[in-house]
Amino acid sequence: MFTTRFQAWVRRNAQRLARFVSRLPITPNQVTVAGTLFTFGAAVLIGFGHLVWAGIVLALSGTFDILDGALARATKRSYPYGAFLDSTFDRYSEGAIYIGLAVYFLNQGGRWMRWEVLGCMLALAGSFLVSYVRARAQSLGFKCDSGIFARPERVVATVAGLVLPIPGILPAVVGLLAVLTNFTAVQRILEVWGQARAQRRAREAAAKAPSRGETSRP
């Protein structure tokens, strides 16, 4: 799966960078906050139409987003609050980017403006659902790692849409995000449904099976 291979490649390179950064007096939470601020800056640049600069800043913020977890592991500072803060700020970051995109499309106007803004809204809802479904499933004891468009792929696609000088590519990327984020959420819902069904069948089979103390009668 592309997502699995891509995330493995990202983790390997993040660990190399984290070993260097661990020598500096920087905490993982500070990296998380810095990455979020960079993302907010990218969102503002998008809203004002500075797309290439926004893509560069967003790519840099993605580096911070990857680095905080790797730094926490490298310095043995992995705490529950750090993971909570990272997940929460990730949602703020994604929301800021989609708001910036919606503002940009509104400022541009045009006959497709309403569809472009609707695409931003659908992509935002899908992105939030992808993360929520996984978090909720894991809190209930399910495994939820499937999906073709997790956060790293969303960031890469958004950066590409911002920096590539191809007419119409940004609306196309937003449309792609609107479809694939919600598709990924459905993939994860089905994955959890399959696990829940297997658990239910296992319980039903255990309930029907004779107990150990029960003996057969002639």
Distances in Å between the Cα of 74 and the Cα atoms of 28, 29, 53, 144, 151 are: 10, 14, 31, 25, 22
Residue 214 falls within a domain, yes or no? Answer: no
Residue 217 falls within a domain, yes or no? Answer: no
Distances in Å between the Cα of 120 and the Cα atoms of 52, 137, 159, 178 are: 19, 26, 15, 7
Residue 218 falls within a domain, yes or no? Answer: no
50: domain CATH number is 1.20.120.1760
Torsion of CA 122, 124, 128, 130, to 10 degrees: 60
Instruction: Give the pLDDT confidence score for residue 133 in this predicted structure.
Output: 93
Residue 78 falls within a domain, yes or no? Answer: yes
Residue 189, both tokens:
């819902």
Q: Is the pTM of this model over 0.85?
A: no
Residue 213 falls within a domain, yes or no? Answer: no
Instruction: Give the pLDDT confidence score for residue 24 in this predicted structure.
Output: 65
Instruction: Give the pLDDT confidence score for residue 1 in this predicted structure.
Output: 45
Instruction: Give the pLDDT confidence score for residue 181 in this predicted structure.
Output: 93
Output the tens digit of pLDDT for each of the chain's 218 residues: 445 565 666 666 666 666 666 666 677 788 888 889 999 999 999 999 999 999 999 998 887 777 776 677 767 777 788 888 888 998 999 999 999 999 999 999 888 899 999 999 999 999 999 999 998 998 899 988 777 888 888 888 999 999 998 889 999 999 999 999 999 999 999 999 999 999 888 888 888 877 555 555 55
Distances in Å between the Cα of 78 and the Cα atoms of 7, 63, 69, 75 are: 19, 18, 8, 8
Return the active site residues: 90
Domain of residue 40, residue span: 2-207
Residues 187/126, Cβ–Cβ less than 8 Å: no
Residue 216 falls within a domain, yes or no? Answer: no
Residue 63 falls within a domain, yes or no? Answer: yes
How many domains are contained in the chain?
A: 1
Residue 11 falls within a domain, yes or no? Answer: yes
Angle at 102 between CA 96 and CA 104, to 5 degrees: 105
